[in-house]
């Protein structure tokens, strides 16, 4: 057994005693590693289904190391503060094809590492969450993915400036989509979400979306939650919302350009026309300062 494994054992005991609220008995958090992450290191962790790797200085991930755990289903790779984070390529996730279902990758915003286009190509992911990956123009093939298996996709702080109309084509089982904190995203194309008709939750908070006609959401008849907080929208139309999003249950529009009193009027109109079946959050505690 190498020194790295003894370090993991110590940290495992520490996290089990202090972090029971966030981890069950099959969850392990690994922190404090420096240098390569070796294949043999993780094979010592038996029956682990949920693995969180964070607060490390990992310089390399040995081929197949991540899925050397045969029971692993959920993985969080957090490289925030990692001065020399390794690039992510297909070999990193060798053996992950059938077992890993939920993957969360956070890159350092100031010094992000790279993710090669085919990194996740062979994986049957249900959840893919990327934070800090430089995408820019979101095209259909921004990553090679098994789109039909995804039920949740998160693209946060990914420098997205434009989204192609076919960007989500093939994601027919997607139920939750989050595209947040992209300061260069100022608008959406009509029917941009046409490929995700089963979507129930859509988070577009803290971008800089301005001109919103609401036709951008056509086809989202099953949508129940829409978060538009922190944009620059100044056009809220109750009749259009009802026509396009008839099953909406929760709408959040805080911190947009419209004056709070006008957002309050819109909220009251929408609630009345939808017979109290929707909650609209338009200000902190829904109270407008005079």
d(CA 243, CA 218): 9
Please give the pLDDT value at position 33: 85
In this prediction, residue 23 carries a pLDDT of 55
Q: How far apart are CA 265 and CA 286, in angstroms?
A: 12
Running along the chain, 290 residues long, what does each successive block of 10 average in pLDDT?
A: 44 41 68 86 82 89 86 92 86 87 90 86 94 92 91 96 94 97 95 93 97 92 97 94 97 95 96 97 89
User: What pLDDT score was predicted for residue 28?
Assistant: 86
Residue 272, pLDDT score: 97
Q: Is the pTM of this model over 0.95?
A: no
Per-position DSSP letters for 57-123, written without gaps between them: EEEEE-TT-GGGSTT--EEEEE-TT-TTPPPB-GGGGTT-TTT--EEEEE--SSS---B-TTTTTT-
């Amino acid at each position: 057994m190498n020194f790295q494994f003894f370090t993991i054992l110590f940290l495992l005991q520490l996290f089990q005693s202090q972090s029971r609220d966030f981890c069950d008995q099959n969850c392990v958090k690994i922190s404090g590693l420096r240098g390569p992450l070796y294949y043999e290191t993780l094979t010592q962790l038996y029956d682990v289904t949920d693995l969180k790797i964070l607060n490390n200085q990992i310089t390399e991930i040995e081929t197949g190391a991540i899925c050397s755990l045969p029971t692993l289903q959920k993985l969080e790779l957090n490289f925030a503060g990692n001065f020399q984070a390794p690039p992510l390529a297909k070999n990193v996730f060798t053996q992950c094809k059938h077992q890993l279902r939920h993957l969360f990758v956070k890159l350092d915003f100031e010094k992000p590492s790279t993710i090669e286009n085919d990194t996740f190509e062979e994986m049957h992911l249900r959840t893919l969450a990327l934070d800090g990956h430089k995408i820019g123009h979101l095209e259909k093939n921004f990553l090679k993915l098994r789109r039909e298996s995804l039920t949740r996709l998160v693209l946060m702080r990914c420098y997205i400036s434009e989204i192609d109309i076919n960007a989500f084509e093939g994601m027919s089982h997607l139920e939750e989509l989050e595209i947040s904190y992209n300061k260069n995203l100022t608008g959406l194309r009509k029917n941009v979400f046409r490929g995700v008709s089963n979507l129930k939750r859509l988070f577009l908070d803290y971008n800089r979306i301005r001109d919103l006609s609401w036709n951008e959401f056509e086809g989202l008849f099953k949508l129940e939650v829409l978060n538009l907080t922190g944009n620059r929208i100044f056009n809220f139309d109750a009749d259009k919302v009802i026509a396009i999003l008839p099953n909406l249950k929760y709408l959040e529009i805080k911190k947009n350009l419209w004056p709070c009193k006008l957002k309050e009027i819109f909220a009251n109109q929408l609630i009345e026309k939808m017979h109290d079946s929707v909650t609209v959050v338009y200000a902190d505690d829904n109270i407008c300062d005079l």
